[in-house]
C-alpha cells in the first residue's frame, strides 16, 4: 500500500477493508456472487476531532462497521472505505 497524500475532514476515517474470504473453514470455495461485503478493516487515515466529539479511532486500529456504512473509494489502485467515526461499531 502506497503512502496516501491528502487529508480527511473532521470526524471521518479512511479504512482499507479486509479481503473477503474465498474459502470456508472446511475448504469449500465461495463463488464471487455469494461473497459478502467485508465488515472490518484497518484504519489508514484519521481526520481531526469534531468540535464537540473526541476522535477515538487511531491509524492502525482494526474497526468493525455496518454492512452498508460509508462510501467506497478507489485511490491509487486500492479500494478504501470513507466512514464517519459514528459508523464504527467496534474497535479491536
Positive or negative CA dihedral for 23, 80, 36, 62?
Answer: positive
Q: Is residue 2 part of a domain?
A: no
Tell me: pLDDT of 20 over 70: no
How far apart are alpha carbons 13 and 66 in whole angstroms?
A: 14
Alpha helices in 1-92 (DSSP H): none
Geometric angle at alpha carbon 50, from 46 and 53, rounded to 5° = 105
Q: Is residue 1 part of a domain?
A: no
CATH number at residue 36: 2.30.33.40
Q: Is residue 71 part of a domain?
A: yes
Q: Is residue 57 part of a domain?
A: yes
Q: Is residue 4 part of a domain?
A: no
Position 75 scores a pLDDT of: 87
What's the structural domain count of the chain? 1
| Structural domain of 50 | 12-91
pLDDT, one tens digit per residue, over 21-74 is: 677 777 777 776 666 677 899 999 999 988 888 889 999 999 999 888 899 999
Amino acid at each position: 500500500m502506497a503512502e496516501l497524500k491528502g487529508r480527511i475532514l473532521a470526524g471521518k476515517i479512511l479504512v482499507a477493508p479486509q479481503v473477503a474470504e474465498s474459502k470456508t473453514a472446511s475448504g469449500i470455495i465461495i463463488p464471487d456472487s455469494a461473497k459478502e461485503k467485508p465488515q472490518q478493516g484497518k484504519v489508514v487515515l484519521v481526520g481531526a476531532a469534531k468540535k464537540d466529539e473526541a476522535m477515538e479511532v487511531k491509524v492502525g486500529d482494526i474497526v468493525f462497521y455496518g454492512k452498508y456504512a460509508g462510501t467506497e473509494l478507489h485511490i491509487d489502485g486500492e479500494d478504501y472505505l470513507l466512514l464517519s467515526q459514528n459508523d464504527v461499531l467496534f474497535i479491536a
